Copies of this chain bind each other. A is one copy, B any other.
Amino acid sequence: MRPTIKDVSALAQVSIKTVSRVLNKERYVSEGVRARVEKAVAELSFQPSAAARTLAGRRSHQIALIYDNHSPHYIHQIQTGVWARCIEEGVRLLAQPSDAASPHLVDEVGALIDQTQVDGVILSSPITDALAALDELERRGIPYVRISPGTEHGRSSSVSMDDVQAADDMTSHLIALGHQRIGFIVGHPNHTASDQRLFGYRRALDRANIDFEPKYVRPGLFDFASGEAAADILLDLPQPPTAIFASNDDMAAGVLTVAHRRGLSMPRDLSVAGFDDTALASQLWPPLTTVRQPTRDLAYAAAALLFEGQAKAVHRRLAHELVLRASTSAPQSR
């Protein structure tokens, strides 16, 4: 049989309450007793039952991560970051894939909370902007932190990067290389980061006194196929762009594929830039110039914020980084 707190208390010759105190790092335990208890715990390799703790106490030592994202790489980074902070805290992580657009989202969140009694929740984009889900969390008084929320920033603690500035930086980089006709592929309309990146692109053009041409902007869905489709249209223009900036790496991969198919040589005939710096970016040919989004660190910071348990909303902004690789250069011809 697995040992219980009773076995520990018997071995250490203290009451079960004292063992509980040591386990929960409560005050008012003398050094000697603490050492005795810890020794007994180690000797029996005792592990407290999560179920009993949850049932008896007001903490469950579990938090949930709710996400809906199509990029395995992004999710993986998020999970890894949150997980790392949870380990430090001795807290279990429940990963809950969801569908931001589903009408059942609220019910799912409610069921998750009721069943598992999680101590807090981390939401990653675009679930961050499912307002009904936020309402539900607040109704139940569950603390939560959002990663890269798009709306109602004041509503909760959050971590984010500056999408506007990042897109501005990348666009400015292309302009500095000498590009004047710069195509842009917008991200998925569900993600508010999409708007922000578009805005950053426009802001950079504006500052450089380059006219904004709507024909150089195409919609996308953050996936490879939509990148291909957009690239085909952009490259069919009478005056095609000399550079294309896609709002994420997957779409940029689509652009590269279309360009290869047309026999273009990158970056000579076309510069291509992405966003995110996923694993893909460095594995494409040519390796992709992109924006490194500090996804893992954002996730870690989000978990840290959750454990800090600030009463009022706190926002942390992490720095992005331009990653210059071989897919961009000065435009060749006129």
Interface residues of A, Cβ cutoff 8 Å to B: 2, 45, 47-55, 60, 72-73, 75-77, 79-80, 83, 92-95, 97, 110-111, 114-117, 224, 250, 253-254, 256-257, 260, 279-280, 282-287
Chain B residues with CB under 8 Å of A279's CB are 72, 224, 250, 280
Task: Give Cα A78 to B2, complex, Å.
Answer: 31
Contacts A51-B55, A280-B280, A284-B284; A45 near B95 (Cβ below 8 A)? no
Task: Give Cα A321 to B323, complex, Å.
Answer: 37
* CB<8 Å pairs between A and B, sample of 21: A45-B110, A47-B110, A47-B111, A47-B115, A50-B54, A50-B115, A51-B51, A51-B117, A52-B55, A72-B73, A72-B75, A72-B76, A73-B73, A83-B97, A92-B115, A224-B283, A250-B279, A253-B284, A254-B283, A257-B285, A283-B284
Q: Which residue of B lies closest to A107 (CB)?
A: B45
Chain B residues with CB under 8 Å of A92's CB are 94, 115-116
Contacts A114-B2, A224-B282; A60 near B49 (Cβ below 8 A)? no
Contacts A52-B55, A73-B72, A76-B76; A114 near B283 (Cβ below 8 A)? no
* B54 with A51: CB separation less than 8 A: yes
Chain B residues with CB under 8 Å of A54's CB are 49-51
Chain B residues with CB under 8 Å of A77's CB are 72
A84 to chain B, nearest CB (A): 10
Task: Give Cα A280 to B288, complex, Å.
Answer: 14
A277 to chain B, nearest CB (A): 13
* B47 with A51: CB separation less than 8 A: no
Chain B residues with CB under 8 Å of A51's CB are 50-55, 60, 116-117
User: Which 10 pairs show the lowest CB-CB distances between chains A and B?
Assistant: A72-B76, A47-B114, A51-B54, A253-B283, A260-B285, A51-B55, A72-B72, A51-B51, A50-B115, A72-B73
* B60 with A80: CB separation less than 8 A: no
Task: Give Cα A30 to B259, complex, Å.
Answer: 67
Chain B residues with CB under 8 Å of A287's CB are 257
Chain B residues with CB under 8 Å of A75's CB are 72, 76
A221 to chain B, nearest CB (A): 14
Task: Give Cα A97 to B95, complex, Å.
Answer: 12
Task: Give Cα A75 to B287, complex, Å.
Answer: 24
